[in-house]
Amino acid sequence: MKNPLLNTGELGIFALGGLGEVGKNTYVYEIEDQIFIVDAGILFPDEHLLGIDYVIPDYTYLVENQERIVGLFITHGHEDHIGGIPYLLKKVNIPKIYAAGIAVDLIEYKLIEHQDVKAPKIEEYKSYYKYQFNNVEMSFIRLNHSIPDMFGIVFRTPQGILFHTGDFKVDFTPVGPGAEYDKLAAIGSEGVLCMLSDSTNAERDELIQSDSKIGKSINELFSRIAGRILIATFASNMYRIQQIIEASIMNGRKVAVFGRSMERAIEVGMQTGYIKAPKDTIVSGDDVNRLKAHEITIVVTGSQGEPLAALSRIANGNHRQVKAMAGDTVIFSSSPIPGNQEGINRTINKLFRLDVEVITHGPLADTHTSGHGAQQDLKLMLSLVKPKMFIPMHGEHRMLKHHRELAIDCGVNPENILIMDNGDVAAITDHSIRLAGKVTSGEVYIDGTGIGDIGSTVIKERKMLSEEGLFAVVLSINSTAKKLVNEPTIISRGFIYMKGNEEITQSLANEVKRITQVELNKKMFNELNLKQSVIDQLGNRIFDMTQRKPLVIPIIVDLKV
């Protein structure tokens, strides 16, 4: 079924995730009645999504149009680009997944954890591969990012060339293979109809340092530290892990690894050759306490203050194998993801209480650099590719707006730039771009094993419970005799401490009795009406007395014979 929003000869581009946010990147290209999905990520929830593990996009449109999907194409192996794959596969029939290098291993590991998923074949592409799907040819351009094997995707279509950058930065001295700038210039010379480009650092007018400079900085830091080193970084940052291993070897240290995702990343890195360490460099957790302080580097997860990660457990004093001690130095080789600063500060404060030295990235020590290009990098991309039309992606709304200004500075006609939200469809011909309407989009919450069974109402209730507490009333009635059989039983959790508040409790019990009798005396008694009356009227009374709005739950037992 053709997309009704598109006219004959138009191709469609839209995002189910990744616009107006940093996360759950899922982009859809509709060309020649075929659907190409680029990436399938998750979003890590902020503190207002109580109890939610992950957020994924609403896949309704893909479910309804799955017969037109030719494949899922992965730019790189970060969670905000591959984390949603198992959930997508549970809902949608994907013929094949196309991924490169380390992303293939990371996806395979992910699918092992979800054994209920019937996985399609994963086709491993290289930068020189080309795929033909009817009138559409797909090819790839290697770029640099904070994880190896990041590729931009080129679509050659009847309307013209489309280019999807993926996440990138310009690094002329990268740790791994260099970016293929010659290919960018070549498609720019050929003529690019439309480009979608990473906007994460579009507000930053600064030089994003090369990863190789961070490696030198880490070497220098290690050479000055006498005690144990605990270093936290992103598990996906293979280059940084390799730099930490190299700095440890140069300074006569062994390396121990804690945190499941970090252990898995090192395993994948060694399989793919991105992580190289002489035999016996990496030691088991049991060896940590046998080695002298200056002989060990401990690499841990928890750079974002995650409560259950290894570093948080060390800071809390409840890690099974590692106890922080005076003389230790903890290095954060990462920058805070928006929304995580509070958790990181909590961890740092706990470490200071343990007399631990803490080093974060700053003017005194270069311990981290971003994997996303700042304004100069984004302008270089625009200048090389020279797109006729432009859609900023991968960023919060203000980042997209800033990227729009950069594109105008680089000569893109403002009328050919679209700032979009998830679900907005761009309809493109060889000479025009327009907003064609919306497809179904939204957020689906994952809580434990449940996918999408928690909606905004549940989140609202959880928030209310966390802030205002619970007030439950158990009523035993006889609806035939139209009377209350026993005194109401009142249960308060997180609202008021009932001991010492007998006066309030009794007053509320009397109010419940009054409401119940009024409802029982009605000609047509209805249990649902009684419940609603208790919720509404008692809620108002509680607010008048306490200025609080707990969640009111009436439980009614009808003892009619």
**Hey, which residues are catalytic here?**
198, 372
Task: For residues 295 and 274, give the distance between their C-alpha atoms in angstroms, rounded to a whole number.
Answer: 24
Contact 229, 331 (CB under 8 A): yes
Helix (H/G/I), strand (E/B), else coil: 74: coil
Contact 352, 358 (CB under 8 A): yes
Task: For residues 395 and 69, give the distance between their C-alpha atoms in angstroms, rounded to a whole number.
Answer: 26
∠ CA(4), CA(6), CA(8), 5° rounding?
110
Per the document, the length of the chain is 561
Q: Which of 311, 406, 329, 422 is nearest to 367 (CA)?
A: 329
| Integer angstrom CA distances of residue 471 from 38, 494, 518 | 48, 9, 21
> In 33-117, which ranges are continuous DSSP H helix?
60-64, 79-82, 85-91, 102-113
Half-sphere exposure of 420 (CA within 13 A, CB side): 32
| Integer angstrom CA distances of residue 373 from 73, 79, 213, 462, 520 | 22, 19, 16, 38, 68
Q: List Cβ neighbours of 118 (8 Å cut-off, separation of 6 or more).
A: 89
Task: For residues 229 and 324, give the distance between their C-alpha atoms in angstroms, rounded to a whole number.
Answer: 10
| Integer angstrom CA distances of residue 219 from 200, 208, 293 | 29, 19, 17
∠ CA(330), CA(284), CA(147), 5° rounding?
60
User: Greatest CA separation found in the chain?
Assistant: 88
Q: Which of 476, 491, 484, 472 is nearest to 535 (CA)?
A: 472
Terminal Cα distance for the chain, rounded = 58
Task: For residues 492 and 469, give the distance between their C-alpha atoms in angstroms, rounded to a whole number.
Answer: 8
